[in-house]
Structure 1
Amino acid sequence: MPSSDPGQLALTLSSLFTASRTDGRQRAHTLGHGLQLTVGTADGDFVALSRKAGEPDMLEAAVVAEKAGWISYSTDWQDIAGSRYLVIRPDSPTEDPPDEGDTDPPSPEIVALLTDPQAPWRHRTFTAQAHEARDDAVRRMSRAELHEEMAWLRTKWGPQLRAWQQGRLREVLAGPAP
């Protein structure tokens, strides 16, 4: 899968997932080399790959899944209205959360990430009081609960989480504005 900018696919997926999550409708985009992406979130996240001439392959599916932030995923072929789609879905995380008896304090970095007002997964329809209550609940979470929250973010917001983290890293590396 050729690409002039390796981060571009992740950003494209991020914007498609964000748009789909706003109203539940599927979003489509065609990459420069003819691979068509269709993203949906209403009945669980998926990316369907297709081509007007030919079929997508498993290598392309692996690249898309990786750029979507899915460590583990499944694929299946579907024939719809004369077109053949390679559908990719994230697998449920199988990693167990930390033991509830863990006495280590919660990570301040994870708390900061989950309570950042600029994060794309923050509910835009919440009132200021609702955000405040949610942030207070996050600050009181145990390490295991924070781990579960991050696992959910990776599952539902994988591309957006990655793009947001990369953007925040660029801001930190650039330093304060003069």
Structure 2
Amino acid sequence: MSEPRGYIANDPVVMDVWKRLTKLFAVWRLIVIASFTRRVLYQFTNDQMSTLMRSGHWKIALGLLGGLNDPQLDFLAEWSRLNAARSERIFRTTTLILVSIPVAAVFGVSEMDPEFWQRIGFARPESLMVIIGLWLLVSGILMAAAWRSRDLADLIALEQARRKLRSSKLASATQ
């Protein structure tokens, strides 16, 4: 499988696994499905990893990673770490912009022309609620994307640790 025209070339096997992983860890699944599972109740425990190790999408994902060799897994670990860092920055920056600029504008305009908001119809609470709802929706989706990106990076780091443990056990057994 070759990369689409214009992409920087990467290992096609690794990128195929990445695409399959991102489908397993889709943002919509976190928002729609995860909110209604028993696993949500386990969010209030100090052992998050046992909860994840019982999770179906983590089991499938670990199976996908099992087909990669160590250098491929190392590349994917760095790829996922970079992806998670970028997702987090995008979430923080966008949410900051969505909150700080409108709030500053509201206060600034209110100071210069106190009647302005009433003249354009924002004196009605329903208008304000729609705008706040849209801001919350966008921020929530970006937060879920950052969460899922971090989940992917954690999953790959776990597989790296599992492989190191397995190799150390094999080395101990042969001595």
Report which of the two structures shows the higher radius of gyration computed on alpha carbons.
2
TM over 0.5: no
Higher relative strand content: 1
TM-score normalised by length of structure 2? 0.29
TM-score normalised by length of structure 1? 0.29
